[in-house]
Amino acid sequence: MALEFRSYKDDAWYDARVVTEGRRGTRLRIKFFNFGDDQDEFVHAKNLKKLQDVDVLRSRFRKISVQFQDTDCSRVEPGLLVCAARPVGDGDLKFYDAVFRGVVKKEHQIVKGVEVCKCTFILDWIDNGESGSCTVENICRVQDTSDEELDPVLISFLNKARERIESTFCTRLRITSGDVYDLRAPHKASFSQMLSDASRSTAAMALGGSVEGMGADSDSLRISYEAADPKKRYKASFSQPLVFE
C-alpha cells in the first residue's frame, strides 16, 4: 500500500511502502518508490522507548498527497497546507511541506485541447520559514490521514510498539508496588501466600538479601508442606514471620 513518508535522511517526503521483518515483525523497512533497496530506511521497535517516539514515527506517514490540477489556481485558498517540490543543492527537486500563500496568475494555454496552468504558486516553506514558489506540476494538497487510511502493516507495528512500551511501564510499576507489598508481607496473617515462586524472589530482593541468605530455604519447603494442611496453616502462619526479622 502506497504511503507518503518523511525520510530520516533529508526530512523530505517520498512515496513509499512498508514491510515488517524479523521473527516477530520488530523491524519496519521503508521502501521508496523509484529508489533501490540500498536507500531503504529501517526502524527497530526496540529503539522506540517512549509512546512519544511512536507518535513521532506515526507523524512521518500519511496518505499520498493529491497533485494540484490545472484549474486549482483559481480555487485554492491561502493558508492551505501543501507539499511542493523545492530545488536542492545537487539540482534535484525534493518535496517539503509549505503553506500556500497565493498565485501569480498567468494566462493558461491550451495544449492538445487540454487547459494547462502557467501560474506561479507562492509558498512559505515550513521547515526553514523561507518563501518560495513552484508551478502546478510540483505542488500537492496534503491530506489529513487517519490510522484506518494507512497500511495495516504499519498500524500493527505502531500498536505493538505502544503495547510493549505500556507493558514495560506496567512491569516497572508492578515491581515498585511489589516491593511495597513484600515489605508489608511479614505482617500479613498467611505466610503460605508468601511462598509462591513469584513472591519468594521479590521478597528476598525487597528484604535486601537472597532467600538462602536468610536461611529460610529449607524452612520454606517445610512450611509450604505444612501450610498445605489446613489444620496446620494457622500454626505455619504465625511461626514463620520470624524469618523476616
> Under the rule (CB under 5 A), what is the footprint of Zn ion?
73, 117, 119
CB of 108 to Zn ion, least distance (A): 6
Residue 106 or residue 188: which is nearer to Zn ion going by CB? Answer: 106
**Residue 28 or 73 having the CB closest to Zn ion:** 73
The x, y and z cell numbers of residue 214, run together, are 536468610
Q: How far apart are CA 57 and CA 243, in angstroms?
A: 51
Rounded alpha-carbon distances, angstroms, from residue 34 to 15, 57, 106: 9, 22, 33
For 121, the grid coordinates are: 504558486
Q: Given the C-alpha cell 517539503, which residue does it identify?
A: 96
Measured from the CB atom, the residue of 136 and 161 that comes closer to Zn ion is: 136
Tell the smallest beta-carbon distance from residue 73 to Zn ion (Å): 3
Q: How far is the CB of 53 from Zn ion (least distance, A)?
A: 42
What type of residue sits at position 113? G
C-alpha cell at 185: 508481607
How do strand 13-21 and strand 27-32 relate by DSSP bridges?
antiparallel
CB of 153 to Zn ion, least distance (A): 39
- Cβ-based nearer residue to Zn ion, 45 or 139: 139
